[in-house]
């Protein structure tokens, strides 16, 4: 298992007239969490694109438990429960309030694809090598 955490301050643009964060903006929080999870492996998503690989989102499932509000400092906890299989990778996100309440969960499935031919491919080996270390004890 591989888990990282990152914090996001809610600014006004993210609120709606219900006085809470608009539900459609949580996908951005998952994205920010994923980007930081990848960065902590020593690569950025920008590096992955520079290798000619893009990672389109193919499925998102969000559950909204409690609202995030303006000026809240939320924590996005991003987890890979398993190594990517073939072209597919699933990130689990949990979003917490400053006092530790679970606000939202999101499961996001992405594909690895060669940008040039738009063909599915494997996770870049350099990245997978970094990741594999986190799964050794339980899986090998």
Question: Which residue, 133, 137, 140, is CA-closest to 41?
Answer: 133
Q: Taking the complex as a whole, how short is the minimal distance between the CB of residue 135 and a copy of itself, in angstroms?
A: 26
Binding mask of the shown chain, residues 26 to 65, with x at each position contacting a copy of itself by CB under 8 A: -xx--xx--x--------xxx-------x-xxxxxxxxx-
Helices (H), 13-134: 26-39, 45-50, 125-132
Q: Which is nearer to a copy of itself, 17 or 138 (CB)?
A: 17
For CA atoms 66, 70, 73, 74, the dihedral sign is positive
Q: Does 17 bind a copy of itself (CB under 8 A)?
A: yes
Q: How far apart are CA 128 and CA 13, in angstroms?
A: 36
Residues that bind a copy of itself (CB under 8 A): 9, 11-13, 15-20, 22-25, 27-28, 31-32, 35, 44-46, 54, 56-64, 67, 70-71
């Amino acid at each position: 298992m591989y888990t990282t955490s990152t914090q996001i301050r809610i600014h006004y643009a993210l609120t709606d007239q219900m006085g809470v964060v608009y539900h459609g903006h949580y996908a951005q929080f998952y994205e920010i969490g994923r980007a930081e999870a990848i960065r902590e492996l020593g690569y950025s998503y920008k590096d992955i694109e520079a290798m000619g690989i893009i990672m389109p989102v193919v499925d998102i499932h969000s559950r909204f438990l409690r609202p995030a509000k303006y000026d809240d400092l939320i924590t996005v906890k991003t987890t890979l429960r398993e190594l990517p299989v073939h072209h597919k990778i699933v990130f689990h996100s949990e979003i917490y309030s400053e006092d530790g309440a679970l606000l939202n969960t999101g499961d996001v499935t992405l594909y690895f694809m060669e940008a040039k031919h738009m063909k599915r491919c494997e996770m870049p080996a350099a990245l997978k090598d970094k990741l594999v270390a986190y799964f050794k004890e339980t899986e090998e």
